[in-house]
Structure 1
Amino acid sequence: MSQDTNYDTFAEAYNAENETSLLNAYYERPAMLKLAGQVQGKTILDVGCGGGVLSEELLRRGATVHGFDASQAMLDIARRRLGAQAQLKCADLSEPLPYAENSFDDACASLVLHYLQDWSAPLAELRRVLKPGGRLLISVNHPFLYPLTHQGVQYFKTTKYTDELEFDGQQGSLTYWHRPLHAMSDAFARAGFSIELISEPPYSKEAPNELVPENLKDRDAFVSFIFFVLR
């Protein structure tokens, strides 16, 4: 979703990490599915669907799923996983989306928006393709994460930064845009969304003990992502 983060260069490794990691498999994804709730019979857009792990679970729960991603390599993985069960397209959230107005009951944007500097056009597009009363479920880097992990930086300044990470043994770079909480809520309001819920969830109790770092084993939650339900 960002010209600065090219998932094509480490798609397989990222997908393997996403399948089983604490942050994805036992924290972000369970939280997103809990917010999605009962999806039987709903038509859902998986925004930045990646390798299709979330789409697969939504399909299993009875939803009709459409997904898109800017990375062709990630879409290839999703197509191998989902076959013809989901309708997948290569598209970029920073550009007009290839969907008609009022197409979806819900849209799920898992760990997508923090790659974008400007949220105005993407949020307007997501509102356009949602049915009246439709929901947009969002997870992004928690606004406190950047100042917590980069001492001395300014919380209130929208800032671009890059993290060098390892995915299933392969190095990869992720470039994000930090923005304070009020900038997020202002963007939602300008796009015509109302905030129904803000969540800072715990990680799943089903997480294998070996995945949980020692400094987190005495707590239920930690600062990493923040979740919104918009309507």
Structure 2
Amino acid sequence: MTATDYDDFADAYSAENESNLFNAYYERPEILRLAGDVSGRRILDAGCGSGPLSAALRSKGAAVTSFDVSAAMVDLARQRLGEDADLHVADLGGPLPFADAEFDDIVASLVLHYLEDWASPLAELRRVLKPGGRLILSVNHPSAYAIVYPDADYFAVTRYSEDYVMDGQTVILTFWHRPLHAMADAFAAAGFRIAAVSEPPPAANTPQELLPPDLYGRSFMCFLFFVLELA
């Protein structure tokens, strides 16, 4: 199960996600860059939220199936994507309602850091991925945790919560910190190999008012991106 209940603030999160720095001009563009040419590929958007990444992938020619644990988020995604969209309410912490080797690629955008256990979710994602497919994912950067919480044990898998203001509403997000080696170990144990790691700068079209001048065009500690392939 996810550690944060997005049903409580789905509208506020979705509104914030549309145009803020971290989602609209940093995380989502990098996932799309790593995905590359997706035309004709069947893609699973695991933890789709209100569907902005699904919409972007579909606009690039992918056939997209999407799910989220939050029914409120799936409702918002359906409003965005249309009644005929292939959308599901499903929990990445349990069995997924998809066939073996059903998808060419999977994207998991800012999802895994809500989960204490990665073994079962990664096993399920591997099960529904075709041979030769990719799992493209982003998580909170573990080094950022060490910077923000210098007295914490970086090497311990640790639950922590933070307050955010989203569209004028204060919400609490609860995450699980993992050190980098624990992430890599979990990927390997699930039968994946790391094909690429990315620590990108913001997108080139980021509005200047969203970034201090000394950070414009430069990478900064925020999210960590992986492209995984079946080992």
TM-score, normalised with respect to structure 1:
0.97
Tell me which residue corresponds to 1:211.
Answer: 210
Which aligned runs of 4 or more in structure 1 are off by greater than 6 angstroms? Answer: none
Give the fraction of aligned pairs with identical amino acids, expressed as a percent: 58
Distance 1:162 1:180 in 2: 17
Secondary structure of the equivalent of 1:194?
A: strand
1:99-118, aligned counterparts within 5 Å?
99-118=98-117
Alignment of 1:1-231 (within 5 A): 2=2, 4-84=3-83, 86-213=85-212, 216-217=215-216, 220-231=218-229
1:165-209 Cα distance to aligned partner (Å, 9 max, x none):
111111111100001000000000000001100111111121111
Distance in 2 (alpha carbons) for counterparts of 1:6 and 1:187: 25
For residues 113-146 of structure 1, the C-alpha deviation after alignment (integer angstroms, 9 at most, x for no partner) is: 0000010000000000001111000100011011
Q: Kindly provide the amino acid, as one letter, of the partner of residue 81 in structure 1.
A: R
Kept in 2, the 8 Å contact 1:59–1:65? The answer is: yes
8 Å CA contact retained: 1:64, 1:86:
no
Structure 2 residues not aligned, in runs of 5+: none
Shift of 1:211: 1.2
Cα distance per residue 1:79-138 (max 9 Å; x no partner): 000004530000000000000001000000000000000100000000000011110001
The structural deviation recorded for 1:226 is 0.4
Other structure's SS at 2:226 match: strand
Distance in 2 (CA, whole Å) between partners of 1:144 and 1:90 is 32
- Stretches of structure 1 that go unaligned for 5 or more consecutive residues are none
When the two chains are superposed, the root-mean-square deviation of aligned CA atoms in Å is: 1.1
Q: Decide whether the 8 Å contact of 1:145 with 1:223 is kept in 2.
A: yes
**How many residues are treated as equivalent by the alignment?**
229
TM norm structure 2: 0.97
| Partner amino acid, structure 2, of 1:83 | G
SS of equivalent residue, structure 2 residue 23: helix
Q: What secondary structure is seen at the aligned counterpart in 2 of 1:132?
A: strand
Which amino acid is the alignment partner of residue 60 of structure 1? S
